[in-house]
Amino acid sequence: MSGIFVIILLGSIVVGIVGLINPARIKLPSRKRVLMVCGITFIVGFFGVAATAPPAPPKPATVAATNQNQLTTSIPAAAPENKPDVQQAVAEVPPQPKPSFDIPSLFGKNITQIRAALGGKPKDAATPSKSELQAANYEWDETYQNGDISLDVTYDYKTLAVKNFFITSTDAVADKSVLGIAGNFNIAGADYRVKFVPEINDASKFTGAFIISPQALQATISQRQKFDTNLGNNSMAAQTATTFITLYKSVGFDGAVNLQAPDDAEKDYAAGGDESDYRGKVTAATLAADVTNISWAYATDTTKKDFVTSLVKSLKQNYPNSSVQVNISNGIRTVATGRWSDWDGTSVELQ
């Protein structure tokens, strides 16, 4: 609409100029009449343009102020930050329990050095007799107490080298980490071994944990690598055969023991694993033994059967989950065999 009024406005000016020069050109009688007609037309065009023209855009400063007002209105003011009371938070953190013993710091020390580190030999430590030491294979222990936590240190009475540590609490614990914190050791082990001992009546709780130091562990591994292969297929088998040879030396006993267990049990034992664990995992124990022909020939059948029976029972006692086989030879032929049956116990056949 404003475009029409602009044309009228401009047209009135052009026509007015032409009419003032020559009124006849625009078909008006006089210049006076030209001024009147063109003047009225100019006035109409001018007011028409003014009335229909679009509003002018606001100035930049006004736009910025308007936008700022709208932004302030639409976005609520941020709530004041609710900072926690640092002093209150610190006060609510429960104190961490402190270790009763620092077992890793005792690694590599002999029993004399451990006594010095723990404040001296326990006052109630007993002095073993010779017979007690022989019965214990010259292994002895001392117990150190700190509140509800006690630490048993087992050592070789001859060399004073420490075999292992056993930490225990007055009450059985369900969380292994309680014992780990008490002894300041990693419950998963690192370069040392940890074995937790479950409570007899509740396997979900633990009465204590054995810890074998890296030094003792390496000594065990080295010792198990050195055995007489003529006596057994591993160090435990050779040790069992040696025990029989010593016990029945009078009848010229000589023999070898073969033990079979799952591969993982064999590897764990070779890597210094617990002996009792390995014994429980042995699935077969076989003894092949020789006795002198004279001693066998002069023995009664009852004596022979008792002899073989004692060998079978001894193997079964040492390896309770194994099938047991004993073969006796007089150096010429097999003269007796013995087996263990879970149905009727020991069975012996003389040949």
Average pLDDT of adjacent 10-residue blocks, the chain of 351 residues: 64 67 68 69 66 60 48 50 56 71 94 94 86 91 93 94 94 93 87 91 93 91 93 95 92 92 94 92 95 90 92 93 93 91 81 82
Contact by Cβ (8 Å): 322, 285 = yes
* Domain identity same for 198 and 239: no
**Boundary of a domain, candidates 188, 214, 240:** 214
Distance of CA 141 to the CA centre of its chain: 31
User: Looking at residue 169, which CATH number applies to its domain?
Assistant: 3.40.33.10
Domain-located, residue 87:
no
302-344 pLDDT, tens digit per residue, is 999 999 999 999 999 999 999 999 999 988 899 999 998 877 7
* Domain identity same for 107 and 186: yes
* Domain identity same for 209 and 260: no
Q: Residue 251's pLDDT is what?
A: 84
* Domain identity same for 280 and 314: yes
Q: Residue 83's pLDDT is what?
A: 58
96 SS3 class: coil
The structural domain count of the chain equals 3
* Domain identity same for 208 and 240: no
| Furthest-apart CA atoms within the chain: distance in Å | 175
Domain-located, residue 326:
yes
Contact by Cβ (8 Å): 304, 350 = yes
* Domain identity same for 232 and 313: yes
* Domain identity same for 254 and 345: yes
**Boundary of a domain, candidates 166, 182, 214:** 214
Q: Residue 343's pLDDT is what?
A: 76
* Domain identity same for 181 and 253: no
A 10 A CB-CB count for 259 gives 26
Q: Residue 90's pLDDT is what?
A: 53
Domain-located, residue 93:
no
pTM above 0.85, yes or no: no
* Domain identity same for 180 and 267: no
* Domain identity same for 109 and 15: no
Domain-located, residue 221:
no
Distance of CA 303 to the CA centre of its chain: 56
- For residue 177, the enclosing domain spans 103-214
* Domain identity same for 328 and 250: yes
Domain-located, residue 186:
yes
Q: Residue 164's pLDDT is what?
A: 93
Domain-located, residue 192:
yes
Q: Residue 350's pLDDT is what?
A: 87
Domain-located, residue 149:
yes
Backbone angles phi, psi at 335, to 5 degrees: -110, -15
Domain-located, residue 84:
no
**Boundary of a domain, candidates 17, 52, 73:** 73
Q: Residue 8's pLDDT is what?
A: 67
* Domain identity same for 68 and 38: yes
